[in-house]
Amino acid sequence: MVYIGHMLDMARKAMEKVQGKSREDFDEDENLRMAIALLIQVIGEAARRVSPVFQQETSHIPWKKITGMRHKLVHDYMHVNYDIVWDVVNVELPRLAQELEALFQDT
């Protein structure tokens, strides 16, 4: 649960950073883009450390997509698609945060 908590903390941090920001704000702020990419990368790294058994038990969470995004950001950093990063922080992370919060309620 330590890694789940870390994922949730980083997701909340990323969502907080873009709260009230437009896509234009995001595109014009290199530091914001880099911060969001790093937070998503950290979420993926934490997800990678969640045990395979727990991942299987929580198969409704897209573990492979989360770690895949981390791999893309780390290994293909010269070709990051910020349309996808924007979508992740505004659409996928709020969903993920809800799922992770529910895991804490179930324990």
Active-site annotation holder among 33, 49, 70, 71: 70
Q: Does residue 70 have an active-site annotation?
A: yes
Q: Does residue 75 have an active-site annotation?
A: yes
End-to-end alpha-carbon separation of the chain, Å?
9
DSSP for 59-84 reads TTS-HHHHHHHHHHHHHSGGG--HHH
Can you tell me the distance from the alpha carbon of 9 to that of 6, in angstroms, rounded to the nearest whole number? 5
Active-site annotation holder among 6, 49, 71, 75: 75
Helix (H, G, I), strand (E, B) or coil at 58: coil
Q: Which residues are catalytic?
A: 70, 75
